[in-house]
Every structure is written in C-alpha cells, then in structure tokens.
C-alpha cells in the first residue's frame, strides 16, 4: 500500500506547464537540427526566377544531397555567389569578361559572397557554354528553355565566344533571363559554395508542388 501511495504522490507532483514547455523545446530542437542538417527553407527575394518562382514564394532546400552527389543541369539550387556579385556592376574574376563585355564570365572572384542566391544550373564542369539571345548553347546544342522569360536585347543576352565551366563548378542562370544577376556576370559557382537543391515549394498554398 505504501508503494502505491508513493506512486500517486509522484504523479501529483508533475507540473503540466513544465511538461508542455519540455515538449515544445524538444520539438523546436528537432526542427532546428533537421533544418541545420537536412532541409532548409528559403524565401524567393526577387523576380530573377520568374515565371518558375515568384517573389515571396517559399521553397524547401535539400542540404544533405550536396554530400552525396552533384546537382544536374536543370536543377534549381540555393548557393553563395562569388564576392563579385556584391557590387553593381558585378565584378568577374577576369576583368575583361562579364557585364559590359563581349564574353560571359568564365572565372569568379576568389572569395565567396555572404549573400544567398537561387538559380538554375545550366552548365557543369567541362561544359562549353555560349549565350545567344538569352538562350544557353551547351556543348554546341541549344538547351530547352520554354520555362524561361525571353531575354530581350539587354546586356547579358548575347555574348561572343565560348567559355568552359571549370571542373567542380556550376554555371547558374535565372529563368527570367533579362532580369537575372547570375553567372554570366560574376562566374561559375564552386561546389563548396552550394547550399542545396530545391525539392518543393510550400507557400503560397496554390503553388504547392515538388520539383
């Protein structure tokens, strides 16, 4: 009888507020670990990926995938660009290339930016890339791009010559080809600067879907 009484006494001493706080803290900790190691959320900050992704739309980014393989051409990736993307006009690692030049940027500045960008992979290491009227010519073949907005006749729509993407790097472009600050101007992105590949969009509700 004494043991049963002791058990009931312990149960009475449990504080429901403490239990709720413990559960909430544990849930937040799990969510933090999942975001830190596996999945990250990202809000689209500009119109550079229209019409695929609108300003304010939110996506889920697979962080762990970068540890087991490289993104492919066509994947939408979140990453840190070169430090040259921090200035206007952007700076290429080769002074004679990039914005206002006759050649797209083949080499980024040595340091990465703290900014976070989201773009589509249009070329990987070893690919030969040309840009004509906003269209990507990859290894001599024009790539399908019905999902993009036309580039128009602005700067960056056409470059002379061909650049070769360095091994271990990725050439990024926005789907809004005439309004995107991307690899054309500040160069390819090394794998170590990648954050993750987008796997789904979850906001707004009418745009929920997977990539």
Which residues of the chain fall below pLDDT 70?
1-14, 16-38, 65-68
- Domain definitions of the chain by residue range: 2-37, 40-210
Q: What is the DSSP letter of 36?
A: H
Averaged pLDDT score across all residues of the chain: 86
Residue-wise pLDDT for 102-133, tens only, equals 899 999 999 999 999 999 999 999 999 999 99
**Quick one: pLDDT at residue 154?**
72
Contact by Cβ (8 Å): 156, 166:
no
**Quick one: pLDDT at residue 18?**
63
Radius of gyration of the chain (CA): 23
**Quick one: pLDDT at residue 188?**
98
Whether pTM > 0.75 for this model: the answer is: yes
Find residue 121's DSSP bridge partners: 172
**Quick one: pLDDT at residue 40?**
83
**Quick one: pLDDT at residue 100?**
84
- Superfamily of structural domain 40-210: Umud Fragment, subunit A (2.10.109.10)
Phi-psi region of 114 (alpha: psi -120 to 50; beta: other; left: phi over 0): alpha
**Quick one: pLDDT at residue 26?**
47
Contact by Cβ (8 Å): 123, 138:
yes
Residue-wise pLDDT for 182-193, tens only, equals 999 999 999 999
Total length of the chain: 211
Find tokens 């796997």 and name the residue. Answer: 199
CA dist., res. 49 & res. 154, Å (int): 17
Per DSSP, the chain holds a count of helices (H) and strands (E) of 3, 12
**Quick one: pLDDT at residue 211?**
83
- Taking Cα atoms as reference points, which of 55, 72, 73, 52 lies closest to residue 149? 52
3-state secondary structure of 64: helix
CA dist., res. 127 & res. 89, Å (int): 26
Q: Could you tell me where the beta strands, DSSP code E, fall in the chain?
A: 39-43, 58-62, 76-79, 117-124, 128-132, 135-138, 141-142, 163-164, 169-173, 189-190, 194-203, 209-210
**Quick one: pLDDT at residue 96?**
92
Q: What are phi and psi of 5, to 5 degrees?
A: -65, -40
Q: In this structure, how many other beta carbons lie within 10 angstroms of the beta carbon of residue 126?
A: 12
Residue-wise pLDDT for 14-31, tens only, equals 676 666 655 555 444 544
């Amino acid at each position: 009888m004494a043991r049963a009484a002791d058990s009931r006494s312990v149960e009475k001493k449990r504080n429901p507020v403490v239990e709720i706080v413990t559960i909430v803290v544990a849930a937040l900790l799990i969510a933090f670990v999942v975001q830190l190691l596996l999945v990250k959320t990202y809000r689209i900050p500009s119109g550079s990926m229209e019409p695929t992704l609108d300003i304010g739309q939110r996506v889920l980014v697979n962080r762990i995938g970068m540890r087991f393989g490289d993104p492919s051409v066509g994947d939408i990736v979140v990453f840190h660009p070169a430090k040259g993307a921090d200035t206007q006009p952007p700076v290429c690692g080769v002074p004679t290339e990039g914005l206002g030049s006759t050649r797209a940027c083949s080499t980024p500045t040595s340091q990465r930016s703290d900014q976070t960008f989201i773009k589509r992979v249009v070329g990987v290491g070893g690919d030969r890339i040309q840009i004509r009227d906003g269209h990507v010519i990859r290894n001599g073949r024009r790539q399908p791009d019905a999902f993009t907005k036309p580039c128009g006749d602005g700067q960056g729509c056409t470059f002379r010559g061909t650049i070769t993407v360095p091994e271990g790097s990725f050439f990024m472009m926005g789907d809004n080809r005439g309004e995107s600050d991307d690899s054309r101007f500040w160069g390819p992105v090394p794998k170590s600067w990648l954050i993750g590949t987008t796997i789904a969009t979850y906001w707004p509700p009418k745009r929920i879907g997977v990539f």
